[in-house]
């Protein structure tokens, strides 16, 4: 048995749509206009995206993530990756996913769009929001096709060890796909789970350029898995999902290695400074360790502090779920923004 057997049976026979990768001198085969309202020397916006350019971007990302090109699928950010996985594996009204809340809310959102059940295995504040493997095993059901893991987790900012990922892949071999969302992994010093891809056919990794690469507006990401899973995903992907502009800008941005390295290091340094500053506040009970570009804090004055910061034009994240009602999430910004937060927290006076 292989992980392919977990795919929805009705999708196994769908043929992949593959656009022609050609550049005819007289382009009259795609029902395009011969002109564009926007002139560009680099991009023909009146033409569908060139497949050779997308292949170049594909190769760049494969090299960056140190995986083979056959093990990677380009997506419109991580969100599309989550959506594609739900559609490929989950039979409406039959299958389920398992998630460990608090975590990224879009896992449950896309599962429910697919009319799938969401099994919740909550993390506990009392143990720093660590995974409870025994509880996961107790909650797991035979119809659970996807186990969603956020690494580092959003919003708690803590990291699942690579050994734990491998243990879960082994434990749920031929039973569930282990989906590891590494949207924030660049801000951690830990290795990526991509190094486990060749060992486990039930491991899928989500990556994005929206966070550490500063390209959230570009909407560009990737799904990484063994080639058989990538091939199956291609059968449900529409042609030309990435625009010519996204492809061109992505290629150019990924050539700037120094910028990325400097930006990530600056965020790590600022994160540590911001944590130290927040820990000095009498109003904050806990500043959690962070492997991401944000910091989770706990304070019994969370509502008052949120409103106080909002009135000063400082936006942070407040939560409605019970486990995080006394928590706020603060993104690490530039030096001026971080100092604004620290100055505001210092002037804050409890219930106000």
Residues 235, 204 contacting (CB under 8 angstroms):
no
What range does the domain containing 90 cover? 3-255
Count the domains in the chain: 2
My answer on whether 136 and 195 are in the same domain is yes
- What pLDDT does residue 34 have? 62
Taking Cα atoms as reference points, which of 185, 248, 198, 190 lies closest to residue 220?
Answer: 248
SS3 (DSSP) at 84 = helix
What is each CA distance from 105 to 128, 141, 188, 209, 281, in whole angstroms?
A: 19, 21, 22, 19, 29
CATH number of the domain where residue 211 is located: 3.40.640.10
SS3 (DSSP) at 137 = helix
SS3 (DSSP) at 141 = coil
Burial of 252 (0-12, 13-18, 19+ CB in 10 A): exposed
For the stretch 93-123, pLDDT in tens is 999 999 999 999 999 999 999 999 999 999 9
Residues of the chain with pLDDT under 50: none
Taking Cα atoms as reference points, which of 102, 155, 109 lies closest to residue 131?
Answer: 102
For the stretch 171-216, pLDDT in tens is 999 999 999 999 999 999 999 999 999 999 999 999 999 999 999 9
Taking Cα atoms as reference points, which of 246, 204, 203 lies closest to residue 222?
Answer: 204
The separation between CA 306 and the C-alpha centre of its own chain, rounded to angstroms, equals 26
My answer on whether 265 and 251 are in the same domain is no
My answer on whether 266 and 238 are in the same domain is no
My answer on whether 96 and 108 are in the same domain is yes
- Residue-by-residue DSSP string for 88-104: HHPPTTT-EEEE-SSS-
pTM over 0.75: yes
Q: Which of 233, 255, 277 is the last residue of a domain?
A: 255
């Amino acid at each position: 048995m292989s992980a392919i057997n977990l795919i929805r049976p009705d999708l196994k026979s769908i043929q992949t749509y593959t656009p022609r990768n050609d550049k005819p001198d007289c382009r009259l085969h795609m029902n395009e206009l011969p002109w564009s309202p926007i002139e560009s020397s680099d991009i023909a916006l009146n033409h569908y995206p060139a497949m050779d350019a997308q292949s170049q971007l594909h190769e760049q990302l494969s090299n960056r993530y140190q995986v083979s090109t056959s093990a990677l699928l380009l997506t419109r950010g991580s969100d599309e990756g989550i959506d594609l996985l739900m559609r490929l594996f989950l039979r409406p009204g039959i299958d389920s996913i398992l998630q460990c809340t608090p975590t990224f809310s879009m896992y449950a959102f896309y599962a429910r769009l697919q009319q799938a059940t969401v099994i919740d295995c909550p993390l506990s504040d009392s143990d720093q929001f660590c995974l409870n493997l025994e509880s996961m095993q107790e909650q797991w059901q035979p119809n659970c096709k996807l186990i969603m893991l956020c690494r580092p987790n959003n919003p708690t900012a803590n990291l699942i060890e690579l050994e734990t990922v491998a243990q879960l892949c082994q434990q749920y071999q031929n039973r569930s796909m282990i989906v590891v969302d590494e949207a924030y992994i660049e801000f951690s010093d830990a290795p990526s789970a991509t190094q486990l891809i060749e060992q486990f056919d039930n491991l899928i990794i989500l990556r994005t350029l929206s966070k550490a690469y500063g390209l959230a507006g570009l909407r560009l990401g990737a799904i990484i898995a063994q080639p058989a899973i990538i091939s199956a995903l291609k059968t449900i992907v529409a042609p030309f999902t990435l625009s010519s502009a996204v492809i061109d800008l992505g290629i150019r941005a990924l050539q700037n290695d120094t910028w990325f390295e400097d930006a990530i290091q600056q965020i790590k340094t600022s994160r540590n400074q911001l944590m130290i500053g927040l820990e000095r506040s009498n109003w904050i009970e806990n500043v959690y360790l962070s492997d991401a570009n944000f910091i989770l804090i706990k304070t019994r004055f969370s509502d008052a502090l949120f409103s106080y910061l909002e009135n000063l034009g400082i936006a942070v994240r407040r939560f409605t779920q019970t486990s995080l009602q006394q928590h706020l999430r603060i993104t690490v910004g530039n030096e001026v923004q971080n100092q604004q937060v620290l100055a505001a927290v210092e002037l804050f006076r409890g219930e106000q």
